[in-house]
Amino acid sequence: MKIFLIGFMGSGKSTVGVDLAHILGYRFIDLDEYIEQKHNLSIKLIFETKGEDYFRMIENETLKEVCSFEGDFVISSGGGTSCFYNNIDYMNRNGITVYLRAEVSTLVARLIESKVDRPLLWGKTKDELNEYIIRVLNERKKYYEKAQVIIDADNANPKDLAQLIISTV
Ligand code: S3P
């Protein structure tokens, strides 16, 4: 069984994913970390030196690679993984998809702290970040909302969210 966590940057996919995998006794893969290890380059450097299209291509390839692994996994995807190359349909065919839905205000508050590690957010002021999230979330939600399970991820702590996912899937 594979459980895919999807959703915008800052929605808590990686944190919740670790707890979820731990409780279920599944293995955990963070797709961004897996890409960094495989290519021996940080996501930052991949964007900087090769550009976003290249990143999307290897992100897509890596998703297919981890899906070929035998066994039970919780896979925390990147915020864009499910929105390119029809990946949401691929994920729906290959496991259970869980969208961690969060309000724009929650995402802004979290991402203002951690934008340095996220190339798409570099150099943005708080207002620009707010506008960016509204616009991109609006473009992406048609993909995110194809998930089989939708969980509101604004207020609960990661362990409670993991329990909520278990009780829902
Ligand atoms: C991206 C999200 C990031 C990472 C890359 C692009 C996106 O992952 O894959 O910076 O397009 O939303 P997180 O959602 O884990 O931050």
The domain that holds 39 is classified in CATH as 3.40.50.300
pLDDT tens string, the chain, 169 residues long: the values are: 999 999 999 999 999 999 999 999 999 999 999 999 999 999 999 999 999 999 999 999 999 999 999 999 999 999 999 999 999 999 999 999 999 999 999 999 999 988 778 999 999 999 999 999 999 999 999 999 999 999 999 988 999 999 999 999 8
Q: Is 78 annotated as a binding residue?
A: no
CA of 167 to the centre of ligand 1 (A): 27
| CB neighbour class for 105 (10 Å; exposed up to 12, middle 13-18, buried from 19) | exposed
28, containing H or E segment? strand 27-30
Residue 113 phi/psi, 5° resolution?
A: -80, -30
Q: 141 with 101: CB under 8 angstroms?
A: no
Q: How many CA atoms lie within 13 A of 16 on its CB side?
A: 30
Name the domain count of the chain.
Answer: 1
Range of the domain at 70: 2-168
Structure tokens at 169: 């899937």
Q: Are strands 73-76 and 96-101 parallel, antiparallel or unpaired?
A: unpaired
Closest residue to atom 2 of ligand 1, CA basis: 79
Q: What is the pTM of this model?
A: 0.97
**Model ipTM over 0.90:** yes
